[in-house]
C-alpha cells in the first residue's frame, strides 16, 4: 500500500535561485512540500546549466524528460503523484494530457510565475507607442495561457493585479485562482547606514527583456540627469546571462559600469545607497525590488515595477513614470539622509504586509485542503472540462504522430 505522498514538478527550466526570482520561487515551493512530508520529483526537458540549484543534495529526485515520448507514461504510473505542478503554461500544454490520462486523480497546479501574454502586450505597446487596451492583450499567446489556466485545477498567481485581471477581465472562476506571492523577509544581517553605503545599483537577469530595456533606458535617458547632480556616484549594473552587447554599455568615464553576474546579489544591494528599476514593461512581481527591501535599500521604480507589491504611497523610495521625475527622486534619496531613512524604514512594513513565509505556507496549505473533493471542484468549471476534452485529444494525437515520426527516423521534435 502506498504511504508516501508524491509531488511531481515539471520544470520549464532548471531552477536558478541566484539568477532569477522564478528560480527562488521554485525552491520555495519545493521546500514547502518537503516540510509537509512530500517526496519531490523534478523533471525537465531543458538543458542543465552551470548555475542551477543542486536539487539532488536536497533529496529531490531529478531527471530529464523527453517531450512527445510514451516513456513518460511509464514514469507517471510508477510515481502516481498526488499533485503535479506545471512550471508555466508551456509545460501544461506539453504534458497536461498525459497527466490526465495516467494520473486522473492528481491535483494539477499551474505555477504561472507571471502572465506571459501581459508582459508581451506591454512590450508591444511600448514598441509601437500605443496605450495598452484589451485589443493589445488579444493574441495567440493570451488564448493559450488562458486556456491552460482553465484546464488546470488551480493556478498560482504571484501578483494581486494579475489575480484581478484574470478574474474580472477574463472571467476565470475565483476557485481556480490562488494569489500566492513568493516570500521575502528582512535580512538577518544588520543594515548598513546611509553613510556606510555608496553608489546606485540595478540588478536583473538579462535573459529577461524588461531588464535589458531598463538598462538601455537608464543609460540613454535617466543616468545622464543623475550623474550631473551626483558627480562621484557610480551606477553598478549586475545581472545573470549578461551578453557582450550589455557589457558594451559600460562607459567608465560616465561611471556607468556593467559587472555581469553578482556573486552575492543581496550583499551587492546591501552596500548600495539607492536601487534603480525603471521597468517600462513586464509582469508578475519583481524580485529585484523585494531584494532591495530585504536589504533596506530604498528604490526608485516605475508603476510596472511596484505592481503587485505596494502602492506608491507606501513605497520605500519612490514610484515615478516620468524619467525626469524618476531621476530627481533618485538624486534626492541619494543626497538627503532624512528622505533615505524614511524610505529605509518602510521596507520591513511592506515585506511583512504580504510577503512573509508564514502567509505563503498558510495559503498553500489551505489551498490543498480545499481541493479534497477534487471532482466537485472540477465539475464547477464547464469551460475547463470542455478545454480539457478538446485540447486533450488534439495534443494526444499530435504527440503520438510526432513520436511515430521520430521512431521511424523521419525527424520531428
Higher-pLDDT residue of 395 and 203 is 203
Packing angle of the helix pair 140-151, 382-407 (nearest 10 deg) = 110
For the cut 60, the answer to whether the pLDDT of residue 3 exceeds it is no
pLDDT at residue number 1 = 42
Q: What is the mean pLDDT of residues 310-337?
A: 97
* β-pair partners for 235: 200, 256
pLDDT at residue number 332 = 98
Query: How many whole angstroms separate alpha carbon 89 and alpha carbon 97?
Result: 13
pLDDT band at 230 (very low <50, low <70, confident <90, very high): very high
The DSSP 8-state label assigned to residue 55 in this structure reads G
For the cut 80, the answer to whether the pLDDT of residue 406 exceeds it is no
pLDDT band at 248 (very low <50, low <70, confident <90, very high): very high
For the cut 50, the answer to whether the pLDDT of residue 400 exceeds it is yes
pLDDT at residue number 392 = 64
Q: What size, in residues, is the chain?
A: 413
Q: What is the mean pLDDT of residues 381-386?
A: 81
Backbone angles phi, psi at 85, to 5 degrees: -110, 120
Q: Read off the pLDDT of residues 8-54 as tens digits, 9 standing for 90 and up.
A: 999 999 999 988 999 999 999 999 999 999 999 999 999 999 999 99
Residue linked to cell 485542503:
369
pLDDT at residue number 68 = 76
**Radius of gyration (C-alpha) of the chain in whole angstroms:** 23
pLDDT at residue number 69 = 81
Give the residue range(s) of CATH 3.40.50.2000 domains in the chain.
Answer: 5-183+357-407, 200-354
Q: Read off the pLDDT of residues 114-168 as tens digits, 9 standing for 90 and up.
A: 999 999 999 988 888 777 776 667 889 999 999 999 999 999 999 999 999 999 9
For the cut 60, the answer to whether the pLDDT of residue 318 exceeds it is yes
Reported pTM: 0.91
How far from 207 is each of 116, 254, 400, CA to CA, in Å?
Answer: 14, 25, 33
Q: What is the mean pLDDT of residues 248-270?
A: 95
The three three-digit cell numbers of residue 16, written as one number: 536558478
pLDDT at residue number 396 = 64
For the cut 70, the answer to whether the pLDDT of residue 88 exceeds it is yes
Query: How many whole angstroms separate alpha carbon 19 and alpha carbon 261?
Result: 8
Q: What is the mean pLDDT of residues 387-413?
A: 65
Q: What is the mean pLDDT of residues 185-213?
A: 93
For the cut 50, the answer to whether the pLDDT of residue 219 exceeds it is yes
Higher-pLDDT residue of 224 and 397 is 224
Q: What is the mean pLDDT of residues 165-173?
A: 94
Question: What share of the chain in percent tops pLDDT 90?
Answer: 82
The arrangement of secondary structure in 5-183+357-407, i.e. its CATH architecture, is 3-Layer(aba) Sandwich (3.40)
For the cut 50, the answer to whether the pLDDT of residue 214 exceeds it is yes
Beta strands in 209-268 (DSSP E): 235-238, 256-260
pLDDT at residue number 413 = 45
Asked if CATH classification 3.40.50.2000 holds for the domain at 200-354, the reply, yes or no, is: yes
pLDDT at residue number 136 = 66
Q: Cα angle vertex 163, ends 120, 101, to 5°?
A: 85
Mean pLDDT of the chain: 92
Nearest Cα to Cα of residue 355 among 403, 267, 287: 287
Query: How many whole angstroms separate alpha carbon 307 and alpha carbon 309?
Result: 5
For the cut 70, the answer to whether the pLDDT of residue 393 exceeds it is no
Q: What is the mean pLDDT of residues 228-250?
A: 95
For the cut 60, the answer to whether the pLDDT of residue 290 exceeds it is yes
pLDDT at residue number 395 = 65
Residue linked to cell 521596507:
347
How far from 78 is each of 67, 75, 100, 152, CA to CA, in Å?
Answer: 18, 5, 15, 22
pLDDT at residue number 138 = 81
Nearest Cα to Cα of residue 266 among 242, 297, 241, 240: 297
Amino acid at each position: 500500500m502506498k504511504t508516501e505522498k508524491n509531488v511531481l514538478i515539471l520544470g520549464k527550466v532548471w531552477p536558478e535561485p541566484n539568477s532569477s526570482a522564478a528560480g527562488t520561487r521554485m525552491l520555495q515551493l519545493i521546500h514547502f512540500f518537503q516540510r509537509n512530508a512530500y517526496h519531490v520529483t523534478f523533471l525537465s526537458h531543458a538543458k542543465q546549466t552551470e548555475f542551477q540549484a543542486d536539487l539532488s543534495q536536497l533529496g529531490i529526485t531529478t531527471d530529464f524528460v523527453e517531450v512527445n515520448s510514451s516513456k513518460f507514461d511509464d514514469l507517471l504510473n510508477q510515481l502516481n503523484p498526488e499533485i503535479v505542478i506545471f512550471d508555466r503554461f508551456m509545460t501544461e500544454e506539453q504534458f497536461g494530457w498525459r497527466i490526465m490520462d495516467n494520473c486522473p486523480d492528481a491535483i494539477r497546479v499551474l505555477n504561472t510565475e507571471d502572465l506571459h501574454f501581459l508582459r508581451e502586450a506591454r512590450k508591444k505597446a511600448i514598441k509601437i507607442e500605443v496605450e495598452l487596451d484589451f485589443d493589445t492583450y488579444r493574441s495567440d499567446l493570451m488564448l493559450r495561457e488562458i486556456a491552460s489556466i482553465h484546464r488546470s485545477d488551480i493556478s498560482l498567481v504571484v501578483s494581486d493585479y494579475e489575480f484581478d485581471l484574470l478574474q474580472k477581465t477574463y472571467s476565470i472562476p475565483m476557485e481556480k485562482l490562488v494569489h500566492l506571492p513568493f516570500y521575502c523577509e528582512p535580512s538577518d544581517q544588520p543594515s548598513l547606514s546611509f553613510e556606510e553605503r555608496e553608489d546606485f545599483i540595478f540588478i536583473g537577469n538579462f535573459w529577461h527583456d524588461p531588464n535589458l530595456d531598463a538598462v538601455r533606458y537608464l543609460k540613454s535617458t535617466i543616468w545622464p540627469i543623475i550623474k550631473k547632480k551626483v558627480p562621484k556616484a557610480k551606477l553598478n549594473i549586475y545581472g545573470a546571462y549578461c551578453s557582450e552587447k550589455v557589457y558594451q554599455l559600460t562607459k567608465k568615464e560616465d561611471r556607468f559600469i556593467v559587472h555581469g553576474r553578482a556573486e552575492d546579489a543581496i550583499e551587492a544591494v546591501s552596500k548600495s545607497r539607492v536601487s534603480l528599476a525603471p521597468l517600462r514593461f513586464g509582469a508578475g512581481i519583481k524580485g529585484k525590488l523585494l531584494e532591495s527591501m530585504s536589504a533596506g535599500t530604498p528604490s526608485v521604480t516605475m508603476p510596472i515595477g511596484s505592481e503587485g507589491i505596494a502602492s506608491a504611497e507606501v513605497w520605500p523610495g519612490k514610484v515615478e513614470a516620468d524619467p525626469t521625475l524618476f531621476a530627481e527622486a533618485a538624486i534626492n534619496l541619494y543626497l538627503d539622509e532624512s528622505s533615505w531613512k524614511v524610505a529605509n524604514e518602510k521596507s520591513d512594513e511592506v515585506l511583512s504586509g504580504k510577503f512573509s513565509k508564514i502567509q505563503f505556507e498558510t495559503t498553500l496549505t489551505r489551498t490543498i485542503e480545499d481541493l479534497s473533493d477534487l471532482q466537485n471542484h472540477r465539475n464547477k468549471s464547464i469551460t475547463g472540462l470542455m478545454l480539457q476534452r478538446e485540447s486533450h485529444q488534439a495534443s494526444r494525437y499530435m504527440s503520438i504522430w510526432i513520436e511515430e515520426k521520430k521512431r521511424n527516423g523521419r525527424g520531428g521534435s
